[in-house]
Amino acid sequence: MNTSPPSFYLFSIASVAPVVVIDERLFTAEENGSNAEGYMKFYNSSYSLRESMRADALEKIFRRHNQQYISRLEESFYREALKEVKKSDEDLKKNKALNFILNNVFPHLRGRVDATGSSAVKIRAREKKEYSEEKADPYIESLIKKISSERCDARFFYADENPEPDYLPTSILGKSLMGTNVLIKDQNLYKLIRTIRPDGWNVSLSANGVAYRTSNEISLKGLEELFRFNFEKDLKIQFLKEKLAKDTEWRRIQSNVKSLINAQEYTEKDFGFRRRSSSEYDVFLNVPEFVLKDVDRVYGWNDSYGQDRRSGESYYYFDGTKVCVRVSCSERGIDVQYTPFTTTAYGHPFTGLYGRREYGDEVSDKSICMGNYSVSRLTRLDKGHSVAKLLVDAKNVLMYGYQPGVTPRVHLSEFSSKKMSLSEISRRGLKVTNTAVEPREDTQVYRRRRIGYGR
């Protein structure tokens, strides 16, 4: 289907009467007319100049009157862009591990609720902005960059002139003219050059008190080609930014793009993956910073830091981390290691990393102790759902699992360096996660009894 635009109104007007473009303002010329905003002498003919409108205003009218053409162009470009991304989608399908993560795990991590039934876990203020803002599609951004760098071969000035711009253009016409003032007459283009003595030239004009002469004539064809090229390029970029990114079909496959195949890490809201090899990935879920209360022991001594003076209760701060489940692909198909772990050595009662000040020793372990968590229950779910559920459960174990009667790998009392006062907890707006919690039975592994959290 032919998607070439109709002739821009400026060129249609210029086919019947001279047109002057100065600082993106359009002037029409009337032969033997009365003086208005200016005058023009063209050999033996005289014209009066009348300002009509700005170039960008004429372009808006042109867009409004040619919606059918614009729709055809967008449809054509949409098919072209979709064809390219589907090629990438086919390449992605060959990477079975990544394809499994994107299409089978991630859908279960979107729109979930946490252990308390709320729609989101409390996060730091500086993280809220990051998560609330929708990230730009990297594939669309790369397309915009590619289209913006495209150049048209059409030229309408002499190569050796290399003109300096007369103004900073904002319209498509102005950008096509490279910020140059021009006269268009009889399908020819004349560059306008300021002068203090216009009378000595065969072609000269004056507009708003400024006099100009002209350079040698050049065919208008080059400008028409360049304007058409820039107009279509502007439409494509606007289509990418405003329509394609919101298109349901595009959004369905927008994550299945070539850039993801080679990505070392990808994050979507509070979950993502890290690439270990082309066939092995760590799927992760972010754990925000939180505070645990020591629900088992109340010390007899009175400490103003980390222990409430009135109740003797102790609180411990834990920084944010990521819980992971490893996914790989082999000849047997998709393999899942159902032992969750943290991305770095993480000091926590259910991981075992801690430091004793008096001895200075440290135990390092990234795996998360899940107690008598029944992995066999996950087999009732599809494999993608089981990975997502295990990640959520592992996160909940770290944040909510330290309850009375539970036997952890390491007691909270061993983490003296992590103690925090109630006043500091309040000042920072932190959440004490293991108090006043009523975990749902189907997603939690802890009870008010010993469940075998062993060392």
Task: Kindly state the average pLDDT of the residues 36-43.
Answer: 85
**What are the tokens at 68?**
């059918």
CA distance 241 to 144: 8
CA distance 352 to 21: 75
For residue 198, the model assigns a pLDDT of 79
Reported pTM: 0.49
Asked if the structure places residue 134 within a domain, the reply is: no
Summarised one tens digit per residue, pLDDT across range 342-391 is 988 888 888 865 443 333 333 345 888 888 888 888 888 889 999 999 99
| 222 and 334 co-located in one domain | no
Cα Rg, the chain, nearest whole Å: 34
Q: Which residues contact 241 (CB under 8 A, 6 or more apart)?
A: 140, 144
Asked if the structure places residue 161 within a domain, the reply is: yes
Query: Where in the sequence is the domain holding 58, given as residue range(s)?
Result: 9-84+150-242
**What are the tokens at 361?**
């020793």
**Is it the case that residue 309 has pLDDT exceeding 60?**
no
* Residue 281: band (very low, low, confident or very high) from pLDDT cuts 50, 70, 90: very high
| 309 and 366 co-located in one domain | yes
Asked if the structure places residue 3 within a domain, the reply is: no
Summarised one tens digit per residue, pLDDT across range 125-147 is 233 333 333 455 666 777 788 88
Task: Kindly state the average pLDDT of the residues 265-281.
Answer: 90
CA distance 395 to 341: 10
CA distance 221 to 224: 5
Asked if the structure places residue 258 within a domain, the reply is: no
| 193 and 292 co-located in one domain | no
Asked if the structure places residue 362 within a domain, the reply is: yes
Q: Of 288, 287, 291, 296, which is closest to residue 411 (Cα–Cα)?
A: 296
Asked if the structure places residue 443 within a domain, the reply is: no
| 309 and 392 co-located in one domain | yes
Domain count, the chain: 2
Q: For residue 210, give the 3-state DSSP assignment.
A: strand
